[in-house]
A and B are shown apart, each in its own frame.
Chain A
Amino acid sequence: MAKVKDILIDPVSKNNPITYQILGVCSALAVTSKVQTSFVMAVALTLVVTGSNLVISLMRKMIPSKIRMIVELSVISTLVILVDQVLKATAYDVSKQLSVFVGLIITNCIVMGRAEAFALQNPPKESVLDGIGNGLGYSAILLIVGTIREIFGSGTWAGLKVMPDAYANNGLMLLPPSAFLIIGMLIWAQRTWMTKVFEED
Chain B
Amino acid sequence: MLVDYINLALNQIFVENILLAFFLGMCSYLSQSRKMESATGLGVAVIFVLTLSCPMNWAIREFLLAKGALAWTGSESLAGLDLSFLGFICYIAVIASLVQLVELVIDRYFPALYTSLGIFLPLITVNCSILGASLFMEERGYKFGQSLVFGFSSGIGWFLAIVALAAIRKKIRYSHVPQGLRGLGMAFIVTGLMAFGFLAFSGIDLKTVTKKAPEPAAPAVEAPALEAPTIDIPSDLEDEDLEGEA
Contacts and interface: CB of A to CB of B under 8 A. Distances in A.
Contacts of A56: none
A85 to B, nearest CB: 6
B67 to A, nearest CB: 15
B192 A180 contact: yes
B179 A107 contact: no
Interface in A46-79: 69-70, 73-74, 77-78
B21 A191 contact: no
Interface of B is mostly: helix
A106 B131 contact: yes
B179 A198 contact: yes
A103 B30 contact: no
Q: Size band of the B side of the interface?
A: 35 or more
B30 A107 contact: no
A192 B179 CA distance: 8
Given A104-B131, A201-B183, A77 B92 contact: yes
Contact of B189 (A30, A103, A181, A191): A181
A92 interface: no
A103 B192 contact: no
A108 interface: yes
A77 B89 contact: yes
Contacts of B22: 30, 176
Given A73-B92, A185-B189, 20 more contacts: A22-B184, A25-B26, A26-B24, A26-B25, A29-B23, A73-B125, A77-B88, A100-B136, A103-B131, A104-B131, A104-B132, A177-B192, A179-B192, A181-B189, A183-B188, A188-B178, A188-B185, A200-B182, A201-B172, A201-B173
Interface of B: 20-27, 30-31, 34, 85-89, 92-93, 96, 125-128, 130-132, 135-136, 139, 169, 172-173, 177-189, 191-193, 195-196, 199
